[in-house]
Amino acid sequence: MTGVLAHSILEQLGRDRRADDSLAFTGGGDPVFATPWRVAEAGSAALGAVGLAVSDLWRLRTGKPQAVTIDRHAAAASLRSNTYVLQDGKKPVSWDPLAGHYPTRDGRVMFLHTNHPHHRAGALRIAGAAAETREALAAAVARWDGLAIEAAIAEGNCVGGLVRSRAEWNDHPHGIAIAGLPLIDIVKIGDAPPRPLPRGERPLSGVRAFDLTRVLAGPTSGRVLAENGADVLHVAAPHLPYQTEILMDTGHGKRCTWIDLREPAGVETMTALLREADVFTQGYRPGTLAARGFSPERVAGLRPGIVCVSICAYGHAGPWADRRGFDSIVQNVTGLSATQGTLARPRNLPVQALDYIAGYLGALGAMIGLARRIEQGGSWLVRVSLVQVAHWLASLGTVEADKGMAELGEPELARYLMESDGPFGRLRHLKPVVQLSETQPFYARPPEPLGSSPARWA
């Protein structure tokens, strides 16, 4: 079934099964971890599709395809990749203590995301907490009805979501809108002549990827491109919050630079870089970058033949399209967390499947777009969102969660881990999951702190 799923993802992007496709899966299936959702199958299918897209680019370079192998347990582990990072033997702090579930006055449960300082301060202020403690926030939320505080958090530009059942979400206006969208799509946004890949010894050698993303999904997409040879320039702004521990997970193989789009010089720098880019991945809400002059269509005008990848929380259609969100929020509003636990006592999944799979799909779409550019030309827009991944994951059905593991055993987990030395010290982290017969993915450089490299292509 996993191979069928991988090919069905590719078919949504117009890539049909080929006679010389070689895709194999090893290891047992779901449940791997203690969750009813088929996360190992979903992650393996997405990564299998990624592997075949890499094989396609290698075929276009050399005339020869590659054999692709995915270990299902490694794929499942990759959906919690950040939890395996150790910095000099210690685990970096990742979650703010105020983040989590809070009962409301009307018997509902609200999930609040407070990992960024301004979201934390906003949640405390909007809820009306008397102090910056979990107890004070819980007392404040308990004075609200669920739908009211969910709306107030959204209107206050903060991040949270009301726990819903799957049935309630399927009847929600945004759930209905998303149900009409594919898992991932690609549309042509401009004309350009066909263009071959630059010369190189790896599938994505010479490909320049402008990575304007934060948190997990977008940076994961860039990491996949980097592990196959792309020159990935990860761009952040000094005034925006960023969780450094996530960079230790998603920054492998990249260079990191600062660009401030509030300044004319920053706009000029980004414009110049995009004129020479092959892939532009952005992880902001629909319309955010267009308001700053960098809509996909304008970027395609700057660089005919570019592949634009948009990764967001709630998709490009529906009443919540411009709403802020993260993996944990989308899990709760779509009913995944209620199924993991109960509606009254929801539990988040033991993996961040929505983030990582959306990242894999973003990289997949970028490579499909590059293949189209080689074969037929054109500029392309790829769209994927966390909520579309949630709908797809739910469509795969459930298994018996109690048959899954809390964690992989040490001997098995050790096979999936590696260590690297760099600016962050000695990092323990996961290896690339996709195994290729000719060009084994690897990280050419360790993660570096934001702003470490100049804003130019290598």
Apex 387 CA angle, 229 and 399, nearest 5:
95
Mean pLDDT of 333-359: 98
Q: Given a cut of 90, is residue 241 above it in pLDDT?
A: no
- Determine the average pLDDT of the residues in 21-38: 97
What mean pLDDT comes out for the span 300-304?
98
Are residues 44 and 316 in contact, defined by beta-carbon separation less than 8 angstroms? no
pLDDT at residue 237 in the model? 94
Average pLDDT over the chain reads 97
Average pLDDT, stretch 44-56?
A: 98
What residue has token string 């395996």? 84
Q: How confident is the model at residue 242 (pLDDT cuts 50, 70, 90)?
A: confident
Determine the pLDDT at residue 148. 98
* End-to-end CA, the chain: 41
Query: DSSP 3-state assignment of 223?
Result: helix
pTM across the whole model: 0.98
Lowest mean pLDDT among 134-148, 158-172, 236-250: 236-250
Domain ranges of the chain: 2-92+181-318+349-436, 100-178
pLDDT at 97: 93
Q: Is the pLDDT of residue 366 over 80?
A: yes
Per-residue DSSP letter, 339: H
Phi, psi of 162 (to 5 degrees): -80, 135
pLDDT tops 80 at residue 326: yes
State residue 397's pLDDT score: 97
In CATH terms, are 2-92+181-318+349-436 and 100-178 the same topology? no
DSSP 159-194: -EEE---HHHHHHSHHHHHHHTS-SSEEEEEE----
Please check the confidence at residue 114 and state whether its pLDDT lies above 80: yes
Give the Cβ contact number of residue 191 at 10 Å. 11
Q: Name the fold adopted by 100-178.
A: formyl-coa transferase, domain 3 (3.30.1540)
pLDDT score of 243: 84
Closest CA to 443 of 255, 264, 314: 255
Adjacent-strand bridge partners of 25: 70
Confirm if 331 and 314 have CB atoms less than 8 A apart: no
pLDDT band at 244 (very low <50, low <70, confident <90, very high): confident
State the Cα–Cα distance between residues 237 and 62, nearest whole angstrom: 39
List, for residues 199-234, the tens digit of each pLDDT value. 999 999 999 999 999 989 999 999 999 999 999 999
Burial class of residue 17 in the structure, from the number of CB atoms within 10 Å of its CB (0-12 exposed, 13-18 middle, 19+ buried):
middle
Question: Exposed (0-12), middle (13-18) or buried (19+): which is 244, by Cβ within 10 Å?
Answer: middle
Going through 227-326 in order, the beta strands assigned E by DSSP cover 231-236, 255-258, 279-282, 307-312
Candidate from 51-60, 85-94, 256-265, 273-282 with smallest mean pLDDT? 85-94
pLDDT at residue 278 in the model: 98
Residue 21, token pair as written in the block: 């496709």
Domain 2-92+181-318+349-436, CATH homologous superfamily name and number? Crotonobetainyl-coa:carnitine coa-transferase; domain 1 (3.40.50.10540)
Cα–Cα dist 398/387, whole Å = 18
